[in-house]
Amino acid sequence: MKQRYKWLFTGFAAGLMILGAFILFNDILQTKSASFLVVFLSPLITALFGFISGTSVEKIFSENTILKNKNKDLQKDMLEQALKLSSDINSAMEDLQNHADQMDTIVNNINSGICFIGNDYKIESGYNDSFVSIFGDKDYLGDTIMNSVFGILDSNTKTSIADYLELCFTNKTATTSMLNDANPVKEFEFVQVVDGSVVHKIITSSISIIKNTDKEVEKIMFIFDDITSENELKKELEKRDQEYKKRYSIMVALFGNDKKVIRRFISGLEEDVESLSLKIKALKQNENNSNTISDILGTVHSIKGEAFALGFEKLSKIASDFEAFFKKIKDEILGLESNLEIIGFYEKLNNEKREFDKTIKVLEEFLAEDDERNGSNKEPSSDLDLSGSVAKHLEYENVSVDLLRKELELINKTSAKETGKQAVFTLNSSVNSIDGKKYKLLKELFLHLLRNSLAHGIETPVERLQAGKDSTGHITLDILKAGNSLVLEYTDDGSGFDIEKIKKRAIENSVVSEEEIFKMGSMDILKIVFNDGFSTSDSADMVAGVGVGMSVVKKHVFKGLKGKLSLTNKPGKGIRIIITIPV
Amino acid sequence: MDGDDILDAPEGKTALEILNKETIDLLFVDWNMPKLNGLDLVKIVRKMEKYKDLPIIMVTSEAARYNVLEAIKAGVTDYIVKPITGMTVMEKIKAYM
């Protein structure tokens, strides 16, 4: 509409211009009527003309605009549609790509090597990264699985694989699990050359059947797993298991499957090590040197003997070296009282102690593993835990006499073997158990008596036969409860104490003078045997000979057990020792 | 299937007669049977048009791969290794029916 007025206005303006021109040329025309007509009509006519023409032009223009607009809208719509379509396609493609990427990630993140084969046995595209890492980096596409994966296998196996694959492609009845059971290469070896060296791999394989819509087998998916390292680990574990079994069988042979003996030894050893460290501390502070050293020697001597009897050779050897070493210190100290060099010896002693600790740890580990192996409920719980507190806990438990019998029999056996003598040890008891606190002392005490009997008392089989005795020696221990006392009677049928030998040694070692010895009765002479450090043996060995054993017996009886000891010596026939301790 | 009918045969030949006369949905076969053994029975059954897709479960005491392969070739669908229990049998029945 606006357009129309524009044309009207334009027409009117054009009329005015004609009117203006007419006024300008009025003088020229000089005709009044004509001038009037022109003056009034010309703007009107031109306005009318302008209006009419303006309207039609406007009409043409407006139609054109509508058309244009329509066109524009259409274009816009189309563009929008096209854009939408393309974005749809884009997002669909993205989705697809994402999906494909995801699938790739999943397939490649599977540790199993995966490949697909068609019925020509050729490997199709889509084998994953793991497949490449198992069988080597190369292009497998179009290669047959028989050449690339099963290439190095022998011809028989290859034939059965070919048969099997044929079966997988043709069979329509069997389940996949059944087919997998029939797989001839469930586990096979793959040999590869990597950087010039040959690598053997143990691979497992399984299959999955992929059927088409006609239920015909189209592809077979092979799933491979590299179990080389697992296999090695398994082998290693089996090897270790066997080693343990071997070690265990030795233990079983030694203890008749009774781990209590070892456990008690360990808990005793813990106590010993603890007391050793206390004594060493005391030694550093220069308190009662000679007494402390005797104590240390007694403890170490017990460890040596027991460890040897139980078959812990390494521990026994450490204890033996330690003992020899300390014996040396002791002699020097007795002579020199204080010696600066002793500081160096302490260090050595500490190191030895640490060795003990290590050995204890190994033993504990072994026992713990052994328990795991056998299921831990066979033993009472207090015996399983070998921490320090348990060692103390054990003290308050009564210990069966059977255990003492077992341990002493064992000590008898190993000592007899070591000395080349024969002896039977018999223990008779009217009590079934012994107070845990006394047990360790009693065990140690009889350990030393037993070992001394075998080292000095019992003769060799030949000597015994010559003396008109049984070739096998007899050692007995009778335990009786009499009132408030426990009476322990120990006998052996050996040669008894050799008074002359003791005399000789006592003079050699300046324990007593020759004059004094002369005045002494045989009973007094026998007391020398119980002196600290006295030995009739010329050399120390695993069984006896450093002069510690009998002093330990004396110490344990009088100090530890607050008991009494009486000794009967029958030269050539044996000894009898009666120990009486309060219950 | 009319209820849960169980037809049993003491050996292969009797089984074949029953299979001919009736139409069954699931077949358990013992490998070792007198006269006609399990494997041969399966081979014959598979050739019968009505039993083309019949689930056949072999009961065997030998789980050796060689036997499995033979069983697959004969047309066995699945197998159970002796000693069999009610549980394993029920599992198979559920899986195939």
* Higher local confidence (pLDDT), A55 or A251: A55
Would you call B76 and A179 a contact, using CB atoms and an 8 Å cutoff? no
The model carries a pTM of: 0.42
Q: Is residue B23 part of a domain?
A: no
**Percent of the residues in chain A that have a pLDDT greater than 70, as a whole number:** 71
Closest Cα in chain A to B71: A174
Cα(A371)–Cα(A387) distance, integer angstroms: 15
B65 interaction partners in chain A (CB closer than 8 Å): 181-184
Of the candidates B65, B68, B75, the beta carbon closest to that of A173 is on: B75
Would you call B46 and A182 a contact, using CB atoms and an 8 Å cutoff? no
Query: In CATH, what class is A398-583?
Result: alpha beta
Would you call A178 and B78 a contact, using CB atoms and an 8 Å cutoff? yes
Say if CB A410 and CB A458 are below 8 A apart.
no
Closest Cα in chain B to A174: B77
Would you call A167 and B53 a contact, using CB atoms and an 8 Å cutoff? no
Q: Is residue B15 part of a domain?
A: no
From residue B70, give the alpha-carbon distance in Å to each of A121, A186, B73.
22, 17, 5
Would you call A173 and B73 a contact, using CB atoms and an 8 Å cutoff? no
- CATH number of the domain bearing residue B78: 3.40.50.2300
Q: What is the pLDDT of residues A144-160, one digit of tens each?
A: 999 889 988 999 999 99
**Cα B70 from chain centroid?**
14
Would you call B65 and A181 a contact, using CB atoms and an 8 Å cutoff? yes
Residues of B with CB under 8 A from a CB of A: 46, 53, 56, 63, 65, 68-69, 71-73, 75-79
- Max Cα distance, chain A (Å): 197
Is ipTM > 0.90 here?
no
pLDDT at A314 over 60: yes
Q: Is residue B48 part of a domain?
A: yes
pLDDT at B12 over 80: yes
Say if CB A457 and CB A496 are below 8 A apart.
yes
Q: Assign A201 to helix, strand or coil.
A: strand
For chain B, say whether A207 makes contact (Cβ under 8 Å): no
Cα(A214)–Cα(B85) distance, integer angstroms: 36
Quick one: tokens of A181? 């059971």
Q: What is the pLDDT of residue A339?
A: 47
Quick one: tokens of B71? 């069983």
Find the mean pLDDT for residues A289-298.
Answer: 76
Q: What is the pLDDT of residue A329?
A: 67
Q: Smallest CA–CA separation between A213 and chain B, in Å?
A: 17
| Three-state SS letters, A210-244 | EECCCCCEEEEEEEEEECHHHHHHHHHHHHHHHHH
Q: What is the pLDDT of residues A528-547, one digit of tens each?
A: 777 765 666 554 444 444 45
Sequential DSSP letters for chain B: --S------SSHHHHHHHHHHS--S-EEEES--SSS-HHHHHHHHHHSGGGTT--EEEEES---HHHHHHHHHHT--EEEESSP-HHHHHHHHHHH-
Q: Is residue B67 part of a domain?
A: yes
Cα(A498)–Cα(A455) distance, integer angstroms: 13
pLDDT at A390 over 80: no
Q: Is residue B8 part of a domain?
A: no
Would you call B68 and A178 a contact, using CB atoms and an 8 Å cutoff? yes
Rounded to a whole number, what is the distance in angstroms from the first to the last CA of chain B? 10
Q: Assign A119 to helix, strand or coil.
A: coil
Cα(A380)–Cα(A430) distance, integer angstroms: 25
**Into which CATH architecture does domain A113-226 fall?**
2-Layer Sandwich (3.30)
Q: Is residue B12 part of a domain?
A: no
Would you call A173 and B69 a contact, using CB atoms and an 8 Å cutoff? no
Task: Provide the pLDDT confidence category of residue A378 given band limits of 50, 70 and 90.
Answer: very low
Cα(A38)–Cα(A212) distance, integer angstroms: 99
Please name the residue that has the structure tokens 């009967």.
A568
For chain B, say whether A539 makes contact (Cβ under 8 Å): no
Query: Most confidently modeled of A242-246, A295-299, A523-527, B5-9?
Result: B5-9
Going A396 to A434 to A454 to A293, the CA torsion angle's sign is positive
Cα(A301)–Cα(A325) distance, integer angstroms: 12
- Max Cα distance, chain B (Å): 38
Q: What is the pLDDT of residue A295?
A: 79
Cα(A278)–Cα(A296) distance, integer angstroms: 10
Q: What is the pLDDT of residue A246?
A: 62
Mutant choice from B65, B92, B96 vs A, greatest count of A C-beta within 10 A: B65
Q: Smallest CA–CA separation between A182 and chain B, in Å?
A: 5
Q: How many CB atoms lie within 10 A of CB A196?
A: 5
Instruction: Give the residue numbers spanning the domain of B58.
Output: 30-96
Q: What is the pLDDT of residues A66-100, one digit of tens each?
A: 888 888 888 888 888 888 877 887 888 788 788 77
Q: What is the pLDDT of residue A490?
A: 95
Q: Assign A197 to helix, strand or coil.
A: strand
Q: Smallest CA–CA separation between B92 and chain A, in Å?
A: 12
Task: Provide the pLDDT confidence category of residue A11 given band limits of 50, 70 and 90.
Answer: low
Q: Is residue B91 part of a domain?
A: yes
Q: Smallest CA–CA separation between B7 and chain A, in Å?
A: 22
Quick one: tokens of A120? 């020509």
pLDDT at A222 over 90: yes
pLDDT at A186 over 60: yes
A544: left (phi over 0), alpha (psi -120 to 50) or beta: beta
Query: In CATH, what class is A258-396?
Result: mainly alpha
Q: Is residue B63 part of a domain?
A: yes
Q: What is the pLDDT of residue A37?
A: 64
- Short-list B37, B36, B80, CA closest to B57: B80
Say which range, A6-15, A214-223, A355-364, has the weakest mean pLDDT: A355-364
Give the A window 123-182 contacts with B, CB below 8 Å: 163-164, 167, 171, 173-175, 177-179, 181-182
A174 interaction partners in chain B (CB closer than 8 Å): 71-72, 75-78
Closest Cα in chain B to A164: B69
B35: left (phi over 0), alpha (psi -120 to 50) or beta: left
Q: What is the pLDDT of residue A392?
A: 45
Query: Structural domain tally of chain B?
Result: 1
Say if CB A549 and CB A301 are below 8 A apart.
yes
Say if CB A503 and CB A486 are below 8 A apart.
no
- Short-list A549, A309, A486, CA closest to A406: A309
Q: Smallest CA–CA separation between A186 and chain B, in Å?
A: 10
Would you call A178 and B75 a contact, using CB atoms and an 8 Å cutoff? no
Say if CB A486 and CB A479 are below 8 A apart.
yes
* Average pLDDT value for chain A: 77
Q: What is the pLDDT of residues A396-418, one digit of tens each?
A: 567 888 888 888 888 888 888 88
Mutant choice from A171, A173, A183, A209 vs B, greatest count of B C-beta within 10 A: A173
Cα(A35)–Cα(A33) distance, integer angstroms: 5
Closest Cα in chain A to B68: A182
Of the candidates B56, B69, B78, the beta carbon closest to that of A182 is on: B69
* Higher local confidence (pLDDT), A357 or A123: A123
pLDDT at A252 over 60: no
Say if CB A493 and CB A501 are below 8 A apart.
no
* Average pLDDT value for chain B: 84
Q: With both helix axes pointing from N to C terminus, report the angle between B65-74 and A155-170 in degrees, rounded to the nearest 10.
A: 30
Mutant choice from B29, B57, B66, B69 vs A, greatest count of A C-beta within 10 A: B69
Find the mean pLDDT for residues B74-97.
Answer: 85
Say which range, A10-24, A345-359, A445-459, A484-498, has the weakest mean pLDDT: A345-359
Q: What is the pLDDT of residues A421-455, one digit of tens each?
A: 999 999 999 998 888 888 888 888 898 888 889 88
